[in-house]
Structure 1
């Protein structure tokens, strides 16, 4: 018998973003140096043009390009040295076709110049400069705004800020950045059989895998973990910990207790605390018995107890909302067929063998499955799988 009225993954994500918009839309302004690794909450726009003046890319002599045409070692162009540019200062010189100004790398180009001859191709005789090569218009010059103009969009909203982004922000005169405030988490791992690390295991007991895995996933998303606790099969104790969780975090995750067994108290605890069950059952493999609920505006998610299911559902449901910029997947050729259940989005672990993607099959309770996996591919709910030889997207774990 199927106890679940399953909801599609896309509908579940829409429900989260609609019902808990305050959790996923928080913003703050931080100094530029603190923005690395955060997600932009709005378009980031340059305040200045870069560069803000025409500058030389070499040490050399700024000229009108046409005054060098035909120049060679045997017939050099002879120009009058009018002066030297100083780094960090405005170049107030203006040159004519028979004049030149020395400009260091990064220095400002004088008015009238449209090229720079490298110093290696010059000879100095008093106030006369002999140039033994010709240059074309614009050679060895970066023009004002050539890198980017004022009010250029440097980063779209929802993108992860990388070191190179910070460099462009600094160049564009940006000192503060509006970023998303990632949600905070609280983890409750449930079950009499689940024991913390360091415990001596008796027959029938297992070590707590999921809360440590989930903690790592939360940190990978640049989110803060406010607490992590083990609770046995005791409804009142569970309710007390849920209260603590929702008081101290935005999102409460319960590991285990999402199925329909007699001791699976998650749904009952949520309801008895004045909450609501929004979804019980996702059309996803693995992870079908997932629970999504809310208590006083806080999001509560009941994940399956199987480690593979818990990790995959977190990535599919929360990881893709929090990490809006996941990068580009690897495009790989599949070596073997992958079969999927129609109507369920399947997250299939894969390994890489000789540049081919190979499906990694195993039960959802086997954590070594993911330890061996390079990543996973996603089979949409409207497909029955992929065939050997297909090119597929593989997302690294």
Structure 2
């Protein structure tokens, strides 16, 4: 069925117009399994972070006004009323002329509005001498300083890395809604192709494409399903392609797309369902015999057998589609005039 070559831009338009694909849907997964997944919905914080005013230093919680006259050679004297530790609600109320010992991260007790660093104090039993004044809210992280209740902390479409997952944990989430990962069947064709690990007989080569393309699929946000090497036999190739379409959301083949007597892939793919082949040859070099089909709602990309051509056309045509149906932002390469 070969073939009227069409310009690359026209091929892209046909693919975009015909496929009309979007994200596959969403699923809820444990936060610890969400690395490199794509957020399906905006996340709104249900609480302030931190959820209370907290000390940023070790020292003493005080009323700032009580320290205004403190000087290095003329300290002011306060009376300590106990200690505030992390992880507990303060049981102390700081009054005028009083202080409460406090550690970094502990909640500010009622009545206090600043923290004096321990380095500028001198304590003698219950008496505390302060050698430097502090202002209101000094050494205090205010409630909601990092995240405010009702704030959108992450937006749909963001890829979750360590920092984003840390934000989700900070607001108390253990699960998150993400886009489903597309399953992409990958198979190679050709009588000369041998799976790595098997004995390489005369006249044969190892299967480069399935491994490089499977890796590229994973880099693009898909989950590759390697279906092995299929010989140039119509019955076996038809069976393999049907299995691929039943198993995956899209299919990538390499080899068997030119005009030789053993190049069976376009003909067989076209017979598997409507609308069939939508692109049959592109005016690019390398990659001219590339074929694209749509079987039902599942795209089939049949790439050339040459490893460089296959990988190049993958990045030009296939990668954007995988990114689209996985909900990822597109990272198409830049065009530079020669």
Q: Do both share a fold (TM > 0.5)?
A: yes
When normalised by structure 1's length, the TM-score is: 0.75
Tell me the alpha carbon deviations over residues 47-91 of structure 1, each in whole angstroms, 9 at most, x when there is no partner.
Answer: 221000000111111122232234233111212223322432222
Alignment correspondent of 1:14 = 16
Instruction: Indicate if the aligned counterparts of 1:7 and 1:283 stay in contact, CA closer than 8 A.
Output: yes
What secondary structure, in the 3-state scheme, does the structure 2 residue paired with 1:30 have? strand
**Does residue 149 of the first structure (1) align with residue 151 of the second (2)?**
no
Please state how far the C-alpha of 1:180 moved relative to its aligned partner: 1.1
For these two proteins, the number of residue pairs brought into alignment is 330
Distance 1:282 1:178, change over 3 A: farther
In 1, the alpha carbon distance for the partners of 2:257 and 2:47 equals 54
Unpaired runs of at least 5, structure 1 = 328-346, 348-377, 386-397
Take 1:17 and 1:75, find their aligned partners in 2: how far apart are those partners?
A: 79
Aligned equivalent of 2:308: 308
- After superposition, the CA RMSD in angstroms is 2.6
Q: CA deviation at 1:117?
A: 1.0
For residues 316-335 of structure 1, the aligned pairs below 5 Å read: 316-323=316-323, 324-325=328-329
Confirm or deny that 1:80 pairs with 2:33.
no
The aligned counterpart of 1:291 is 291
Q: What CA distance in whole angstroms lies between the structure 2 residues aligned with 1:111 and 1:90?
A: 10
The structure where strand makes up a greater share of residues is 1
CA contact (8 A) 2:279 2:293 kept: yes
Superposition deviation, residue 29 in structure 1? 0.4
With normalisation by structure 2, the TM-score equals 0.87
Q: 1:133 to 1:308 in 2, by over 3 A?
A: same
Q: How does 1:14-93 map to 2 (within 5 A)?
A: 14-15=16-17, 18=20, 20-21=21-22, 24-93=23-92
Q: Distance in 2 between matches of 1:57 and 1:232?
A: 68
2:62 is the alignment partner of 1:109: no
TM superposition shift of 1:283: 6.4
Which stretches in structure 2 are left out of the alignment for 5+ residues?
A: none
Secondary structure of the equivalent of 2:136?
coil
Residue-by-residue CA offset, 1:269-326 (whole Å, 9 max, x unaligned): 1222224112234566643432221223322111122212222322333334445257
Deviation of 1:263 after TM superposition, in Å, equals 3.1
Is residue 81–residue 99 contact of structure 2 (8 Å, CA) maintained in 1?
A: yes
Contact 2:19-2:299 at 8 Å conserved across structures: no
Distance 1:379 1:222, change over 3 A: closer
Matched with 1:3 is 4
* Structure 2 Cα separation of the partners of residues 13 and 137 of structure 1: 62
Q: Deviation per CA, 1:135-194, whole angstroms, max 9, x where unpaired?
A: 233221111000111232222222221112111111112221001111112222112232
Q: 1:200 to 1:227 in 2, by over 3 A?
A: closer
Q: Give the match for residue 271 of structure 1.
A: 270
Alpha-carbon distance in structure 2 between the residues aligned to 1:88 and 1:13:
57
CA gap 1:318/1:142 in 2 versus in 1, 3 angstroms? farther
Asked if the contact 1:27–1:180 (Cα under 8 Å) also holds between the matched residues in 2, the reply is yes
